[in-house]
Amino acid sequence: MTTRTAARAPRLDQVCADAVGVARGAITEVDPADIGEHLEAVAEGDRVVTHFFESHLAGYRGWRWAVTVTRVPRSRHVTVCETVLLPGPDALLAPSWVPWNERLQPGDLGVGDLMPTAPDDDRLTQGYVLSDDAAVEEVSWELGLGRSRVMSREGRIDTAQRWYDGDSGPISLHLVLGAADSVPPNDSFANRITLTGPSITLTASNKGATKEAGEPNHGGNIGGKSIWYTWTAPTSGKLTIDTAGSNFDTLLGVYTGTSVSALTLAASNDDVSSLDHTSYLSFNAIAGQTYHIRIDGYNGAQGSIVMTLS
């Protein structure tokens, strides 16, 4: 049979309880006028007592000064352990903290407002990790490697799908083609579609597209079904373009120039990796410079295109 022994409540030590003056004198952080009358003495343990004094500090209604004192056995010399200002039962307290993601309500955010993301958000992945080479660190920010987290492939595909399914956005381009083999309106360099804005996501198709005379190869492949866009950089900085979310093996190229037979290559890419046959490129764009974007299919592949520019 188990016998339970009730915990003995600590007995109020009278020597410590009588040391009201010692306790009051330990409150040195404020003016003596901010210390009110002695309220009570509470036993905390053997020969450990906390004295409570009323607080007259402005803005601390209902708070109390708490001074804990003690003494060693067989000694009447009382010493101070700690002094602190604590809320009493009727103290005026600030509301309990509610995390931002729990207190936001519909309508609290407007256009341009940003919210931090959760640490485990699978739409983001770890960005640049510090190297052990000082020379690399000197140029890491210039190369755009200063972000701790960047969009993952899942995040980019999810973003593209939202734009594809949505009705509006900074740029939302939906090409409605007629017959299956009809030629896209921007099949030729001369009929390239103009894009505007610093951040663009669009959907399109290169079905029925052709490769015109004088059109260069890019990404190390002949291609054969290209469509064209043109975009002028509003500011200088790193430009990234990708075709994540497209359903075929894409080729991607960016050029400057005024005619299809006299273009200068700015950047190009075939595949993100051996497992990802969409395309990704980046380079430093110059404010006011017009760039011509060409999306093609590897060896003439065709299908639905998702392109993101930022």
Distance CA 24, CA 32 (A): 9
pLDDT digits 0-9 by tens, 94-122: 888 888 778 888 888 888 887 777 788 88
DSSP 8-state secondary structure symbol assigned to residue 221? B
- Provide the pLDDT confidence category of residue 7 given band limits of 50, 70 and 90: low
Report the pLDDT value the prediction gives residue 27, as an integer from 0 to 100.
95
CATH topology for 165-309 is Jelly Rolls (2.60.120)
Distance CA 228, CA 206 (A): 10
Domain boundaries, the chain: 14-87, 120-151, 165-309
How many other C-beta atoms can be found within 10 angstroms of the C-beta atom of residue 266?
20
Please state the rounded mean pLDDT for residues 280-284: 90
Residue 231 pLDDT > 60: yes
Phi, psi (degrees; rounded to nearest 5) at 5: -110, 120
Please state the rounded mean pLDDT for residues 258-278: 87
Distance CA 143, CA 124 (A): 20
Contact 87, 114 (CB under 8 A): no
Strand ranges, E, within the chain: 35-45, 48-55, 63-70, 79-87, 124-126, 149-151, 193-195, 200-205, 227-232, 237-242, 250-256, 264-269, 280-285, 290-297, 304-309
- Provide the pLDDT confidence category of residue 55 given band limits of 50, 70 and 90: very high
Six-digit token pair at 244? Answer: 């994540």
Please state the rounded mean pLDDT for residues 33-51: 95
Report the pLDDT value the prediction gives residue 154, as an integer from 0 to 100.
86
Report the pLDDT value the prediction gives residue 16, as an integer from 0 to 100.
94
Query: Which of 199, 201, 198, 263 has the alpha carbon at shortest distance from 236?
Result: 198
Six-digit token pair at 51? Answer: 């004295």
Residue 75 pLDDT > 80: yes
Report the pLDDT value the prediction gives residue 86, as an integer from 0 to 100.
95
Report the pLDDT value the prediction gives residue 216, as an integer from 0 to 100.
86
Six-digit token pair at 184? Answer: 């896209």
Tell me the residue type at 218: H
Query: Which of 298, 309, 297 has the alpha carbon at shortest distance from 209?
Result: 297
Report the pLDDT value the prediction gives residue 50, as an integer from 0 to 100.
96
CA geometry: angle at 95 spanning 89 and 98, to 5°?
135
Pairing of strands 227-232, 193-195: parallel
- Provide the pLDDT confidence category of residue 2 given band limits of 50, 70 and 90: low
Q: Would you call 14 helix, strand, or coil by DSSP?
A: helix
Q: What global pTM score does this model have?
A: 0.44
Query: Which of 85, 24, 73, 21 has the alpha carbon at shortest distance from 48?
Result: 73
Tell me the residue type at 74: R
pLDDT digits 0-9 by tens, 132-175: 677 666 666 555 566 677 788 888 888 888 887 777 655 545 55
Distance CA 186, CA 191 (A): 5
